[in-house]
Amino acid sequence: MSANPVIGGHFTSVIRHNWQLNEVEALYTLPFNDLMFKAQSLHRNYFDPNEIQISSLLSIKTGSCSEDCGYCPQSARYDAGLKSEALMPVDEVLQAARRAKEQGASRFCMGAAWRKPKDKDVERVVEMIQGVKELGMETCVTLGMLTDEQTQRLKEGGLDYYNHNLDTSEDYYSEVITTRTYQDRLDTLTRVRNAGISVCCGGILGMGESDADRAKLLIQLANMPKHPESVPVNMLVQVEGTPLMGTEALDPFIFIRTIAVARIMMPQSRVRLSAGRTNMSDEMQALCFLAGANSIFYGDKLLTTDNPMTNRDLVLFNRLGVYSGGSSYA
Ligand code: SAM
Ligand code: DTB
Ligand code: SF4
């Protein structure tokens, strides 16, 4: 064992899969400046500190979802005033991908409001994946729970990333979702990993969870046999009509601390500053980048809710001297 100059403690490796709650709590409670310094120092060992990867999102099937995720405007159980849309035709999806590429996105993420897809849906999604790859973009899809066969089909179709979030800790999970279990999510993630597809997995903050819940979510992610290549950290977008509307707002510094702790625990992963940027100041986003976030969702819309206008992001990138670069894993 040797002293690590960045982390300050004694570690055989900084790529660890055995994080304990007390260690993560100790990171969370460091003085803010110390935590930011550790996160930023480690970030620089693995990434260009001024490069931000950009992904664009498209909802390829919207609303009427059978699940009861308490945050989600797409659940059929809540009235969020959303217009449902069937699975989009392939050519319309490719048009949107072309636009996203022109705007500078390197990855195109397609999301569907399903508990799980039907086999015939997967065939159409495979056509979308092939078309987007032909444009020279990385592909990501999020379709809900998958069978082994569907996962294999997506892999054969050339899919790069599968997004499937754990959302929160196992303990808090049942406060937010009752129609599928934490274990269901872990099983889908294992299928994706075993099929050789890169994993995009993270969660949502600001749902009323505790400090321990946030730490436990990060432990779930970092203690997987391999860290997810992408870790989206979403701030809850509160939507009128959903059960989580009206949840007390999270202290922005806790959000920034979570990015920093994620960066320390998963130093090679892309940590994505995901939903919720519309309500964040430029200064808060800059602190998230300093804490080690190095990816964003770019484009005026997330799936169904607003994202910052691309022009605001370009101005921010300019003011910070950061630029969008390639993609991929460190
Ligand atoms: N239906 C699929 C599923 O849930 O697995 C895929 C799409 S779902 C919309 C993808 C993820 O978006 C969710 O797991 C959740 O983490 C995130 N999400 C949904 N609504 C959100 C909200 N209001 N605020 C923040 N994140 C949200
Ligand atoms: C993720 O972690 N966040 C994205 C993506 N993965 C699919 C979705 C955010 C959705 C925010 C609410 C909406 O626009 O519907
Ligand atoms: Fe359906 Fe996904 Fe929304 Fe849950 S998060 S209600 S599964 S679309």
For 279-301, letters b (16+ CB in 10 Å) and e give bbeeebbbbbbbbbbbbbbbbee
Cα–Cα distance measured from residue 207 to residue 230, given in angstroms and rounded to the nearest whole number: 21
What sign has the CA pseudo-torsion 60, 160, 275, 180? positive
Cα–Cα distance measured from residue 22 to residue 216, given in angstroms and rounded to the nearest whole number: 10
Assigned token pair, 137 = 């973009």
Residue 163 CA to ligand 1 center (angstroms) comes to 10
Predicted pLDDT at 12: 43
DSSP result, 204-271: EE-SS--HHHHHHHHHHHHTSSS--SEEEEEEP---TTSTTTTPPPPPHHHHHHHHHHHHHHSTTSEE
**Which of 108, 114, 166, 97 has the alpha carbon at shortest distance from 141?**
108
- Please identify every residue annotated as catalytic: 65, 69, 72, 109, 140, 200, 272
Q: Do the bridges between strand 10-11 and strand 2-3 make them parallel or antiparallel, or are there none, so unpaired?
A: antiparallel
Predicted pLDDT at 141: 98
Cα–Cα distance measured from residue 264 to residue 118, given in angstroms and rounded to the nearest whole number: 38
Predicted pLDDT at 5: 46
H helix runs in 103-181, sequence order: 119-134, 148-156, 170-176
Predicted pLDDT at 326: 56
Quote the pTM value: 0.92
Whose C-alpha lies nearest to ligand 1, atom 13? 165
Cα–Cα distance measured from residue 157 to residue 123, given in angstroms and rounded to the nearest whole number: 9
Find out whether 158 and 129 touch, Cβ atoms under 8 Å.
yes
Cα–Cα distance measured from residue 79 to residue 58, given in angstroms and rounded to the nearest whole number: 21
Predicted pLDDT at 324: 85
pLDDT tens, position by position, for the chain (330 residues)? 344 444 444 444 589 999 999 999 999 999 999 999 999 999 999 999 999 998 999 999 999 999 999 999 999 999 998 899 999 999 999 999 999 888 888 899 999 999 999 999 999 999 999 999 999 999 999 999 999 999 999 999 999 999 999 999 999 999 999 999 999 999 999 999 999 999 999 999 999 999 999 999 999 999 999 999 999 999 999 999 999 999 999 999 999 999 999 999 999 999 999 999 999 999 999 999 999 999 998 877 898 988 888 888 888 988 999 988 754 433
Residue 73, Cβ density class (10 Å: 0-12 exposed, 13-18 middle, ≥19 buried): buried
Predicted pLDDT at 9: 46
Q: Do the bridges between strand 270-273 and strand 2-3 make them parallel or antiparallel, or are there none, so unpaired?
A: unpaired
Q: Tell me the angle at which helices 252-265 and 282-291 cross, rounded to the nearest 10 degrees.
A: 20
Ligand 3 close to Cβ of residue 115 (< 6 A): yes
Ligand 2 close to Cβ of residue 237 (< 6 A): yes
Ligand 1 proximal residues by C-beta, below 6 Å: 71-72, 74, 111, 113-114, 142, 144, 164-165, 167, 204, 234, 236-237, 239, 275, 303
Please state, as a whole number, how many other Cβ atoms lie within 10 Å of the Cβ of residue 36: 20
Residue 59 CA to ligand 2 center (angstroms) comes to 9
Ligand 2 close to Cβ of residue 165 (< 6 A): yes
Ligand 3 close to Cβ of residue 67 (< 6 A): yes
